Amino acid sequence: MRFLLTGRHVEVTPAVRRLMDTKLAKLGRMLNDSLVSAQVVVWRERYRHIVEISVHARGDHILHGLGDTAAWDTSLTEAVEKISHQAKKLKGKWQERKRHATPAKIVAVEAPASGRQGRRGAEPEDGRPMIVRPSRYAVKPMTIEEAALAIEDAREAFVVFRNAATDAVNVVYRRKDGNLGLIEPDA
Q: In this structure, are 86 and 156 located in the same domain?
A: no
Which amino acid, 117? Q
E strand or H helix at 153: helix 144-153
- Clarify whether residues 117 and 185 are in a common domain: no
Whether 78 has a pLDDT exceeding 90, the answer reads yes
Looking at the fold, whether 105 and 90 belong to one and the same domain comes out as no
* pLDDT mean over 36-59: 89
User: Do residues 162 and 87 share a domain?
Assistant: no
Residue 102: what pLDDT? Answer: 56
- Cβ(10)–Cβ(48) under 8 Å? no
Domain count, the chain: 3
Rounded (10°) angle between helices 72-99 and 14-30: 20
| pLDDT score at 131 | 76
* Cα maximum dimension of the chain: 88
| Beta strand extents in the chain (DSSP E only) | 2-8, 35-45, 48-57, 61-69, 105-108, 130-133, 140-142, 158-163, 169-174, 180-183
The confidence band for 106, taking pLDDT boundaries of 50, 70 and 90, is low
Task: Tell me, yes or no, whether 95 and 109 share the same domain.
Answer: no
Do 111 and 52 sit in the same domain of this protein? no
* Per-residue pLDDT band at 48 (split at 50, 70, 90): very high
A 10 A CB-CB count for 126 gives 7
**pLDDT surpasses 60 at 118:** no
**Domain coverage including residue 185:** 136-187
Residue 134 pLDDT level (bands cut at 50, 70, 90): low
